[in-house]
Amino acid sequence: MIRWGLFIGTTSGIVLGLYMWFVEKITGDKVYTLLMNVDFIPWFGSIDWPVLMEWFFHMIISWIIGLVYVWLFMYRVKNTSRNHWRAAALLTAPAALTYVPLTILALKETPPVTDGSAVLFWLIGHVLYAVTLKKSYDRFT
């Protein structure tokens, strides 16, 4: 279970991170910066973390989501394709909805709350994350 959850979390986290990185490089919308940002967390935010550590923090969250996803189907939820989609959506939705609070809390420059294209890229990225979560689970199990 742990190996599956870590694989699924790794795959999904890499897809989301690379998508956001490419979007930021191509459009200039700082969605990758927002995804990796931890500067608003007390004590944590006072440290100028290297890029690899920011990436590691992002992956920790993704690993937790991957582990919960696998755990659900091993112990709690009937293992059907419909339930896979539901669980992927339910586990991803809270992260997708963090755009506004993360933007408001961020100390470094991130997209404005009113930047429609950044919000759209953020939401598309998290839909991509949910799809990758489900497809990775299908592929690995």
3-state secondary structure (DSSP) of residue 43? coil
pTM to 2 decimal places: 0.92
Nearest by Cα to 17 from 46, 45, 54, 68: 54
Contact 134, 90 (CB under 8 A): no
Over residues 77-95, mean pLDDT: 93
In angstroms, the CA 28 to CA 31 distance is 9
Q: Output the pLDDT for position 140.
A: 74
Band (79; pLDDT cuts 50, 70, 90): confident
Question: Over the stretch 109-139, which tens digit does the pLDDT of each residue have?
Answer: 899 999 999 999 999 999 999 999 999 998 8
Three-state SS across 56-123? HHHHHHHHHHHHHHHHHHHHHCCCCHHHHHHHHHHHHHHHHCCHHHHHHHCCCCCCCCCCHHHHHHHH
**pLDDT one-digit tens code per residue, 4-32:** 999 999 999 999 999 999 999 999 999 99
pLDDT at position 107: 86
Q: In this predicted structure, what is the pLDDT of residue 141?
A: 66
